[in-house]
C-alpha cells in the first residue's frame, strides 16, 4: 500500500465524504453521486482516485457499478498515524524553566576567567 496515494486521496473533502457514506453500506455509483452538486463524471473521477488508492473496490452487478469501502488501506494509514501517538506533548514552558536553571547552574559553576583572558 502506498501511503502517498492514500493520503492524496484523503486530501479531498468530496472523497472523504464519499468514504463516510460508504461506511454505512455498499452503494451504487449513482447513489454516491446523488448528494453532490457535480456531474456523474466528476464523481466517477473521485471514485477512480479512491479505487486507485485501494480505499474502495468497485464491482459491476448487472448494469450497476457498486462501490464498497476497503478497510485495509485505511488501516495502513491509521497504523502510520498511530505511530506518532507514542510521543508525549512537549511543555515548552517547563522546558524553558529547565534550561534557565541548567544555564544558571552552569554559569555559577564555571571558573572565573584568568586576568587578561576575557
What is 71-88 written as a DSSP string?
HHHHHHHHHHHHGGGGSP
Contact 5, 20 (CB under 8 A): no
Per DSSP, the three-state class of 32 is helix
pLDDT in tens, 43-79: 999 999 999 999 999 999 999 999 999 988 888 888 8
Any bridge partners for residue 59, and if so which? 66
Enclosing H/E stretch for 56: strand 56-61
Domains of the chain, by residue range, sit at 1-108
The more confidently predicted of residues 99 and 5 is 5
- H helices of 1-118, in order, are 3-10, 13-24, 29-33, 40-52, 71-82, 92-109
Distance between CA atoms of 54 and 3, rounded to whole angstroms? 11
Q: Is 65 left (phi over 0), alpha (psi -120 to 50) or beta?
A: beta
Distance between CA atoms of 10 and 33, rounded to whole angstroms? 18
The CATH T-level fold of domain 1-108 is: Arc Repressor Mutant, subunit A (1.10.10)
Statement: the pTM of the whole predicted model exceeds 0.85? no
pLDDT at residue 11 tops 70: yes
Amino acid at each position: 500500500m502506498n501511503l502517498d496515494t492514500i493520503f492524496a486521496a484523503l486530501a479531498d473533502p468530496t472523497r472523504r465524504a464519499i468514504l463516510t457514506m460508504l461506511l454505512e453500506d455498499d452503494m451504487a455509483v449513482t447513489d454516491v453521486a446523488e448528494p453532490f452538486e457535480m456531474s456523474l463524471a466528476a464523481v466517477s473521477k473521485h471514485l477512480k482516485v479512491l479505487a486507485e488508492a485501494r480505499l474502495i473496490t468497485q464491482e459491476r452487478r448487472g448494469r450497476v457499478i457498486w462501490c464498497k469501502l476497503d478497510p485495509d488501506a485505511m488501516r495502513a494509514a491509521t497504523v502510520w498515524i498511530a505511530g506518532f501517538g507514542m510521543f508525549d506533548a512537549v511543555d515548552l514552558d517547563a522546558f524553558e524553566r529547565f534550561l534557565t536553571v541548567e544555564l544558571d547552574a552552569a554559569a555559577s559553576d564555571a571558573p572565573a576567567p584568568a586576568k587578561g583572558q576575557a
